[in-house]
Amino acid sequence: MKHKEEELINILSLLRGPSDNDSSINQTATDLREQQFHNFIREILVCLFIYGFLYLIAFVTIKVLRKAKETDEYVIDYEDAVADRVRIWICTFALATCFGAVLLLPMSIIASEVIKITPQSIYWKWLNSSLLHGLWNLIFLFSNLSLFIFLPFAHLFVESIGLPGSKKGIKSRFIETLIIIFFIVVILVGFSYVISAILDTDNAKLHSLLSNFEKLI
């Protein structure tokens, strides 16, 4: 008899559905996830728009400052034309990052003042601290990549002629450039380790040196 009563209670609870409290909690959690998703997509779109605008300004700047003789000097065949085009793209990316680094601090100050003056304005809802923090992280990341990877790669890629004994082409020049960059990194890490061992013999450990490089990157 008691077992039948428990089954009846379970059936009635299923027919009634979740309580109002549970439904409100689920609705709140769903709204929070949707808001976080919309904020994430909005920040991505704003960052893409800002960086696209900076890239366009950097591209126009390089085209204006670049002399026509430089194109004829480096472009001899198809491979040189591709290498020159890659060099222009990388230099444009680095210059756009430089513009962003220069303008980031004053724009952050202006954005903070705008948020304080008009906190309830619907036209400035997209301008928040999360967006500014994301821009700072992107500029820091792109600056390190441009300085230590992209710009050396652009220079070495233009100067490369391909691996000896292999078929010449873009692939051979690309592999040669990667090998040279790898050896340069190994030499720099070795020199840094030797200098740190000379200056500080107590903490001259390889893992401490690599941890310092990770902090820089």
Asked whether residue 71 is domain-assigned, the answer is yes
Asked whether residue 54 falls in the same domain as residue 110, the answer is yes
Provide the pLDDT for residue 27.
Answer: 57
Asked whether residue 68 falls in the same domain as residue 111, the answer is yes
Asked whether residue 103 falls in the same domain as residue 44, the answer is yes
Asked whether residue 16 is domain-assigned, the answer is no
* Residue 197 belongs to domain spanning: 160-217
Asked whether residue 8 is domain-assigned, the answer is no
CB 82 within 8 A of CB 170: yes
Provide the pLDDT for residue 135.
Answer: 87
Could you give the 3-state DSSP secondary structure of residue 200? coil
For each of the chain's 217 residues, which pLDDT tens digit applies?
Answer: 445 445 544 544 544 445 444 555 555 666 677 777 777 888 888 889 999 999 999 999 988 887 655 555 555 677 778 888 888 999 999 999 999 999 988 888 888 888 788 777 766 777 777 788 888 888 999 998 998 889 999 988 888 887 777 777 788 888 888 999 999 888 887 787 777 777 766 555 555 555 655 555 5
Asked whether residue 14 is domain-assigned, the answer is no
Asked whether residue 45 is domain-assigned, the answer is yes
Asked whether residue 118 is domain-assigned, the answer is yes
Provide the pLDDT for residue 212.
Answer: 55
Asked whether residue 194 is domain-assigned, the answer is yes
Q: Which residue has the tokens 């040279």?
A: 180
Angle at 135 between CA 209 and CA 31, to 5 degrees: 115
Asked whether residue 140 falls in the same domain as residue 43, the answer is yes
Q: Final residue of a domain: which of 120, 150, 180? A: 150
Provide the pLDDT for residue 29.
Answer: 60
Q: Final residue of a domain: which of 131, 150, 169? A: 150
Asked whether residue 92 falls in the same domain as residue 136, the answer is yes
Asked whether residue 142 falls in the same domain as residue 61, the answer is yes
Asked whether residue 170 falls in the same domain as residue 99, the answer is no
Provide the pLDDT for residue 91.
Answer: 92
Asked whether residue 19 is domain-assigned, the answer is no
Provide the pLDDT for residue 5.
Answer: 46
User: pTM score, two decimals?
Assistant: 0.71
Asked whether residue 141 falls in the same domain as residue 35, the answer is yes
Residue 38: Cβ-neighbour burial (10 angstroms; 0-12, 13-18, 19+): exposed
How many domains are there within the chain? Answer: 2
Asked whether residue 164 falls in the same domain as residue 94, the answer is no
Spatial distance between the Cα atoms of 43 and 134, rounded to a whole number of angstroms: 8
Asked whether residue 194 falls in the same domain as residue 111, the answer is no
Burial 48-85 (b: 16+ CB within 10 A, else e): eebbeebbeebbeeeeeeeeeeeeeeeeeeebeeebbe
